[in-house]
Homo-oligomer: A and B are copies of this chain.
C-alpha cells in the first residue's frame, strides 16, 4: 500500500470539527492510556516496582471488585432469558417483576424497542420513587425520561439551550470548579461557553453565592448565561450540600433566570452522619412560588449508588416545569436515537423499585445494600484520614459520592521539573505516581482548581485491603517525591 500523506485525506485535523478537537475528558485521558500500557507490560513480564495497576481514576465499583446486587441481576437476566424462571429456586418476587416488565415490553420481549422516553411502567416506578424520596411531593411519570446513563440525559437537555443570541454571544453553562469533566467536554462539543464558578474548599466545598454572582456577572460580557449545573453529592469533591446552601442556589438561579441541572447521581451515597441528601426538586417545591415554577432537570444513574452497574447504562432525567412546546421538541429530539437500552431501563426499575419488606428477596437485598454502603462509608473515612495524616496533603471529609479531592503541596523544584517535561505540575505528580507505584489517579487540572493550587481525584472504590495498600504506596511515594524535589 502506498504511504498516504495526511494531505491526501478527505478528513484531516485541519478540516475536522474544531469543537471535537477542543474537548478534553481527563478521566479517560493520557494517564489512563498509560495505565493500560503498563498493565500490558506487566502481563508481558516486565519488571516494575509493583505487581498491579490500581485504577482509582474512575467511579467504576464493579471493576474494583464490588459484588453486584443479587436481586438486580436475577431480574435483568430473567428478562433477557425468561426460561430461567422455570428454575424452582427462582424467588417469587423475581418472577413477579420479570412478568410485569415483560408485559410492558412490545411483543413481550426486552429485545424490542421501547418508546423513546422509556417503558411507561418503569417511568411510573421512577416517579413513585421520586415521590417517596421527596416526602410525598408529586412526580409526574410523563416528566421522567429514561436514558442510557445520566450523561446521555444531561447532554440531551443541554443541547436544547444551545442557541447563539442575536448579539452573537454563545449560550453559557455555569459549572462548578472542580467539576466532572463530562460538563466541559459536552460544552466544548456543543460549542457553548463554560462559566466557571469556584467552590469554596475552605468551607467544605460549599457554594458561595457571592462567587456565583461574580461568575455570572463576569460571564455576561462574553456569553449569554442560560443554566447552572450543581453536582450534589459532589464529584470530584465528595461534599453533601446543606439545605440552606441549596435554597441560596435556587434563589440565585431564579434571579439570574437560569435553568437548573441537578446532577444527583450520588443521591444514595451519603456517608457522613451529619449530612443528608436534599433533592433540588424537593427544596424548590417546598420554597413555593416563584421558585416552585422554575425549570429544572434532575439526573440519576444506575452506575453509582450501591448497585454500581456502570456497564448496563441506565439512568433517568426528571424534567419539571418545562414549557410544553419545548418538552415536545425534546421528546422529538430523542426519538431519532430510537430508545435507551431496555436492559438499562430494567436495571433502573430494580433500583427505584427494590424488594419490599415481606417479599422473599428483601432480607438478602437489604443485607447486600447495607454492606456496600457501610463499606463505602468506612473507606470514605479511611481515605480522608490517611491523606490528612500525610504532611503536604490535606482534604475535606468525604461526606458522599465516591471520591476524594485532596490538595497537595508540590515543591517548587517539582514544578520546574514538570515545566521542563511540558507537563502541568499535578499531571507530573500523577504520572510519576503511576510509573512508580501503578496507582492511576487523575490530576486536579482535569477537573479545574483555583490557579496555583494542586489536587488530585481518587475514588474510594478499591476494596478495603487494596485501598489500605494503595494508601500506603501513595503515602510512601508522596514522602519520597517531596524529598526528591526539596
User: Do residues A16 and B160 form an inter-chain contact, with CB atoms below 8 A?
Assistant: yes
User: Do residues B162 and A9 form an inter-chain contact, with CB atoms below 8 A?
Assistant: no
Point out the residue from B21, B83, B115, B289 that lies within 8 Å of A1, measured CB to CB: B289
Point out the residue from B24, B80, B152 that lies within 8 Å of A76, measured CB to CB: B80
Q: Which stretch (A123-131, A328-336, A430-438, A441-449) binds chain B?
A: A328-336
With a cutoff of 8 Å between Cβ atoms, the chain B residues found around residue A309 in the complex are 111
With a cutoff of 8 Å between Cβ atoms, the chain B residues found around residue A336 in the complex are 23, 25, 28, 151, 181-182, 185-186, 189
A306 to chain B, nearest CB (A): 12
A381 to chain B, nearest CB (A): 23
Q: Say if the beta carbon of A295 comes within 8 Å of chain B.
A: yes
Q: Say if the beta carbon of A107 comes within 8 Å of chain B.
A: yes
Q: Say if the beta carbon of A6 comes within 8 Å of chain B.
A: yes
Point out the residue from B62, B66, B106 that lies within 8 Å of A63, measured CB to CB: B106
Point out the residue from B9, B113, B155, B163 that lies within 8 Å of A310, measured CB to CB: B113
A250 to chain B, nearest CB (A): 13
Residue interface bits A294-331, CB-to-B below 8 A is 1, else 0: 11000000010001111111000000011101100110
Residue interface bits A154-193, CB-to-B below 8 A is 1, else 0: 0100011111000000000000000001100110010000
User: Do residues A163 and B16 form an inter-chain contact, with CB atoms below 8 A?
Assistant: yes
Q: Say if the beta carbon of A270 comes within 8 Å of chain B.
A: no
Q: Say if the beta carbon of A482 comes within 8 Å of chain B.
A: no
Q: Say if the beta carbon of A18 comes within 8 Å of chain B.
A: yes
Q: Say if the beta carbon of A47 comes within 8 Å of chain B.
A: no
Q: Say if the beta carbon of A2 comes within 8 Å of chain B.
A: yes
Q: Say if the beta carbon of A74 comes within 8 Å of chain B.
A: yes
Q: Say if the beta carbon of A87 comes within 8 Å of chain B.
A: yes
A257 to chain B, nearest CB (A): 5
Q: Say if the beta carbon of A105 comes within 8 Å of chain B.
A: yes
Q: Say if the beta carbon of A423 comes within 8 Å of chain B.
A: no
Q: Say if the beta carbon of A226 comes within 8 Å of chain B.
A: yes
Most chain B CB within a 10 A radius of its CB, from A8, A36, A181, A343 = A343
Give the docked Cα–Cα distance between A66 and B113 (Å).
13
Q: Say if the beta carbon of A148 comes within 8 Å of chain B.
A: yes
With a cutoff of 8 Å between Cβ atoms, the chain B residues found around residue A161 in the complex are 11, 16-17
With a cutoff of 8 Å between Cβ atoms, the chain B residues found around residue A341 in the complex are 148, 311-313, 341, 343-344
Residue interface bits A59-78, CB-to-B below 8 A is 1, else 0: 01111111010000110111
User: Chain B: which residue is nearest A308 at the CB level?
Assistant: B111
User: Which residues in window 108-157 of A have CB below 8 A to B?
Assistant: 109-116, 148-149, 151-152, 155
With a cutoff of 8 Å between Cβ atoms, the chain B residues found around residue A289 in the complex are 1-2
A418 to chain B, nearest CB (A): 23
User: Do residues B293 and A325 form an inter-chain contact, with CB atoms below 8 A?
Assistant: no
Q: Say if the beta carbon of A4 comes within 8 Å of chain B.
A: yes
Q: Say if the beta carbon of A259 comes within 8 Å of chain B.
A: yes
With a cutoff of 8 Å between Cβ atoms, the chain B residues found around residue A66 in the complex are 107
User: Do residues A258 and B10 form an inter-chain contact, with CB atoms below 8 A?
Assistant: yes
Give the docked Cα–Cα distance between A277 and B340 (Å).
30
With a cutoff of 8 Å between Cβ atoms, the chain B residues found around residue A43 in the complex are none
A444 to chain B, nearest CB (A): 19
User: Do residues A107 and B16 form an inter-chain contact, with CB atoms below 8 A?
Assistant: no
Q: Say if the beta carbon of A337 comes within 8 Å of chain B.
A: yes
Give the docked Cα–Cα distance between A259 and B15 (Å).
13
Point out the residue from B18, B111, B257, B259 that lies within 8 Å of A163, measured CB to CB: B18
User: Do residues A11 and B323 form an inter-chain contact, with CB atoms below 8 A?
Assistant: yes
Residue interface bits A279-297, CB-to-B below 8 A is 1, else 0: 0000000000100111100
Interface residues in chain A, defined as those with a beta carbon under 8 Å from any beta carbon in chain B: 1-2, 4, 6, 8-13, 15-21, 23-25, 28-29, 36, 55, 58, 60-66, 68, 73-74, 76-78, 80-81, 83-84, 87, 105-107, 109-116, 148-149, 151-152, 155, 159-163, 181-182, 185-186, 189, 226-227, 257-259, 289, 292-295, 303, 307-313, 321-323, 325-326, 329-330, 332-333, 335-344
- Given A1-B289, A111-B311, 13 other A-B residues pairs in contact with their CB atoms under 8 A: A1-B293, A9-B321, A9-B323, A9-B326, A20-B159, A20-B332, A60-B112, A62-B106, A66-B107, A76-B81, A77-B84, A84-B84, A113-B303
Q: List 7 A-B contacts (CB under 8 A).
A: A1-B289, A11-B326, A16-B163, A24-B332, A60-B112, A111-B311, A341-B343
